[in-house]
A = this chain, B = another copy of it.
Amino acid sequence: MEDSILFWPCRLDKDVLYVLDETAIPEKVQYIPVGNTNEAVSVIKEMKTRAFGQFLVILSIFLVEIERGKNFSDRDLYVKIGQIAEALNKSRPTFPFAEVTSIVVNWAKVALESHQDLKTFVVKNINSYLQGVRYSRLDRVKRISEVIKDGDSVLTHCNVSGELAMAAGMCLAQNKKVKFFATETRPYFQGAKLTAWELGQVGADVTLIADNAVGNVMANKMVNKVIVGSDRNCANGDFANKIGTYQIAVLSKHFNIPFYVLTQPSSKVASAADIPVEIRPEEELLRYEGKKAIKGYVRGFYPGFDVVPHELVTGGAIALEMGRK
């Protein structure tokens, strides 16, 4: 199975990380060179990368900084790793940055306390962890493809970083006839620019709809399954995902359409109320490709995420299971 470009949107070349500029897709496939933590925080804040891309940038920037600080003492490297973690944790509120960075900080601590070479130990652990994540995601792609049956019509929202497109490719290879509906996902149009494009690339049958047409296609029985991703998961099954996910979940319930969510293991927060929701700048709603789209004085409100109660996950969670191949 070939990777969708969005499945692994970063590559590391010596001490420079090349991060796929997801805002340039589908016009251009271009990578932004990221050489230090500040630049990593920038690509995250400006949403050049998002979702799984954020996760990759977090882990990979430690590799970059460790390479750059290879002459540091273990003690200094440990301090530096803590500083990197802190900077990343502050970049955006909803994604669980601290949960990811704390893994690396912990490895550094273990190395220091057990008098192992910190650089070697941490780099080896990050690389094998990333490899494990890769296997687990490939395994989940297979499980997504099993959830999708011949004749299904699947609605998705925003973008699940390659997994759905690759599952669609598997369905095609198995001669399943499947239709996909992708929502535009205003204001960044991830559904239009990433998901519809990505599904089209593998040859899937995909139709774009406006975010306000979900109720219509459901009422007209044009959709029989919903699959979305998640940016953060709670112990009770509540989850955060791109703005618009909550209302799609409510509509799915109203129209008796099973609603599935791709989840990552996480138990740091108990329920929805504990997830801080990022409010993005109103300009991102009021502008279109850099140009002011709405004239006159109008305020905009752009919550970046929805936090969805687990009761609405009627299809089930398709969890990332670490350790599975």
Contacts and interface: CB of A to CB of B under 8 A. Distances in A.
B306 A243 contact: no
Mostly, the A contact residues are: mixed
B247 A306 contact: no
Contacts of A187: 210
Contacts of A301: 181, 207-209, 213, 217
User: How many copies of the polypeptide does the oligomer hold?
Assistant: 2
A302 interface: yes
Interface stretch (A79-87, A144-152, A287-295): A287-295
A183 interface: yes
Interface in A253-308: 253-254, 285-286, 288-289, 293-303, 306
A208 B298 contact: yes
Contacts of A249: 215
A265 B26 CA distance: 48
A213 B301 CA distance: 9
Given A197-B296, A294-B192, A294-B196, A302 B186 contact: no
**Which 7 A-B residue pairings sit nearest by Cβ, starting from the closest?**
A212-B244, A215-B247, A211-B212, A215-B246, A186-B210, A211-B211, A196-B298
26 contacts: A26-B296, A184-B186, A186-B211, A186-B212, A189-B293, A189-B294, A197-B294, A197-B298, A207-B298, A207-B299, A208-B286, A209-B300, A209-B302, A210-B211, A210-B243, A210-B244, A210-B302, A213-B243, A213-B244, A213-B302, A213-B303, A215-B246, A216-B247, A216-B306, A217-B301, A219-B306
